[in-house]
Amino acid sequence: MRTTVGIIGAGPAGLLLARLLHNAGVDAVVLEGRDRSYVERRQRAGILEQGTTDVLRAAGAGERMDREGLRHDGIELRFAGRRHRVDFPALTGGRSVTVYAQTEVCKDLIALQLKEGGPLLFEAEALAVEGADTDRPRIRFRHEGAEEVLECDYVVGCDGFRGVSRQAVPASLSRVFERTYPFGWLGILADVPPSHDELVYARHDRGFALLSMRSTSVSRLYLQVPAGTDAGSWSDEEIWDELELRLETADDWVLRRGPITQKSVTPMRSFVHEPMRYGRLFLAGDAAHIVPPTGAKGLNLAVGDVVTLARALTHERRTGSADLLDAYSATCLRRVWQAERFSYDMTALLHRAPGATPFEDRLQLARLERLTASRAAETDLAEAYTGFPFG
């Protein structure tokens, strides 16, 4: 097989890149190691920045998002029993975010790719990227029991943290920056309408809690727990009791309870690999960077990567200039590090570190007091949450 762009991974990054390239007249093949059902069911992010929703609409993938997604014009911060709403449009000139699960984004993009785009091969396991530093890179993969080769002009690794694409970058050129947090998130899906119409981020002496949602009838909630916690060690009643305690307010707000349909624990880490390009291999999304979920940046960073890359590949095709391709890593990393900074700040602001001292607790509360009293500080949060510019 031969194509212009070989894409490893059919998550939102790989699928959106394929869509953007199709619209620009650039042929691509997408290889995905899992089956279609798995890709369309794996639970991941659910918050889309303003720029992400704009890109999906422009790509022709926004119809169902606009019909079923939930526009949010703010978030609520809770601490010391108090509630404070951050008004995004008022602070950012009209920007907002949309609650629309990554699973739904993938379903929309898969349907478009299979209907209009180039080949999308499920259960096609990428084994290695070869010749990345030549003008004829190739992806060795296994499909339907046979080993095959996809020859490309460019390879894009959208295959996540444990994929093979990053392994093709020589260790002598790689620089890794990472932090592992001593806590994780115990997350649940529950068949109950959300207890608030916007996301609630709560700082409590017992740890962080987040009230989120997947739809008007399904709630998504999280509790800070020690790293390595087994989700099964928490009973449903214990989870609801702890959520009620950490989300409590001084007014008459009530947490709605319902049947819990899923429990899982998400580890917390920050990770950046530099550079994001080696020869004709480009890394995008979790293959290059991971953020803790507190800032809702993971999926949106991946979108920023592939928008930048699609522009660069289209520019090269139309003009013959590789200037934008040569700048890809530096361009993306500027945005990546701002997102890493914001995600780290939000995590440190709202989570209680193991062994935190009373002094550190007071500093957290002082930071929250400052944030809710200063329009400048609040604006910085709103601008970052609704999204840094692409490119």
| Residues carrying an active site annotation | 72, 201, 293, 297, 385
Angstrom CA distances, 161 to 99, 167, 188, 361, stand at: 24, 10, 23, 33
Does the CA dihedral 116-119-122-128 come out positive or negative? negative
Distance CA 147, CA 127 (A): 9
- 197: amino acid identity, one letter: D
In this structure, what token pair is assigned to residue 134?
A: 């030549």
Does the CA dihedral 19-21-23-28 come out positive or negative? negative
- 40: amino acid identity, one letter: E
Angstrom CA distances, 86 to 8, 122, 272, 325, stand at: 38, 42, 29, 38
- For residue 185, what are the β-bridge partners? 224, 266
CB 169 within 8 A of CB 282: no
In the sheet that holds 124-130, the strands lie side by side as 124-130, 138-143, 146-151
In this structure, what token pair is assigned to residue 115?
A: 């209907």
In the sheet that holds 209-213, the strands lie side by side as 82-87, 74-79, 199-203, 209-213, 219-226, 175-190, 260-274, 289-290
Distance CA 223, CA 314 (A): 43
